[in-house]
Chains A and B, each alone.
Chain A
Amino acid sequence: MQFRSLVGAVAAAAATTLVLAVPAFADVTAGCSGEATIDGVPYTPANDTPSNPIVVPKDEGVVIPWKGGTTFDNNGHHGSLNLIVGPFSIEVDDWDDTNGPEPNQQSNEDVYSLDKFYDDSPFGRNIVGIYELTGTHTADGGSCSGNAMVKFEGNVLASPIGAGSVVLIVITAGGIAMATFARKVT
């Protein structure tokens, strides 16, 4: 009977986690705007669902023009972009006003080298899959944050994690199947 209670508790916890996690994807909070163009396609924080992600190419030499701005006092600003992996985050880029050419500069634009990202990534160009990208920007006059979905296309089985997950699915499915043959205590 305790075993049944344990199963029920685990199922309830899982269900609660799933219900509470109804996609909370949101646009940028008030005060900030941003846009990046990849291969001629403009992307904004509106690309915030798995079905409408920012598609990142694997080609070499890709540069991404971007621009962003704030509506509040931008002195003393700092911010960062992070990829979310479960409870962890991996910083992709950061910025602050130490190199800012002007005080209270409320908009900026530049280009981002994708090669730099792949060089810094532990998986290099083998990275595939979809990730949540979050950004925050804080300054004297306020702060804002936003998120978007980023998709690295590629063969799932060609990546170590993808191939490993398939193998693990097969093995553990076998384990679950074997558990159905367990002897019943009567």
Chain B
Amino acid sequence: MLGAISGLLFGIAVALFLQQAGVRPIDNVSFFGLPLLGLALGLGLALWAPLGRDRVVAASGATASAEASTEAETEA
């Protein structure tokens, strides 16, 4: 979510900056294309998360919970 929102706003900001700097006018390309590219960039990086840690704790916690549940049923 953070990556998507940041990417979208990043694309809008880059389009505005390029227009203000006299590089490219705000036409339909930069108005729609750059925000979409930013959105794709943000989503892609968030999904890839090259610097993120694996969620090992959550997975083992769920396993432990399931094991505890099975044991309780056996005892009953």
A: which residues have CB within 8 A of B?
A: 3-4, 6-7, 10-11, 13-14, 17-18, 21, 50, 53, 84-87, 128-132, 149, 151, 153, 156, 159, 161-162, 164-166, 168-169, 171-176, 178-186
Instruction: Decide yes or no whether B14 CB sits under 8 A from chain A.
Output: yes
Question: Are B9 and A184 in contact, with the CB atoms below 8 A?
Answer: no
Q: What are 16 A-to-B residue pairs whose CB atoms are below 8 Å?
A: A4-B47, A13-B36, A14-B33, A18-B33, A86-B28, A162-B20, A166-B17, A168-B9, A168-B10, A169-B13, A172-B13, A173-B6, A175-B9, A179-B7, A179-B42, A185-B58
Number of B residues near A (Cβ < 8 Å) is 51
Partner of B29, one of A6, A7, A18: A18
B residues 1-60 near A (Cβ < 8 Å) are 2-3, 5-7, 9-10, 12-14, 16-17, 19-34, 36-56, 58-59
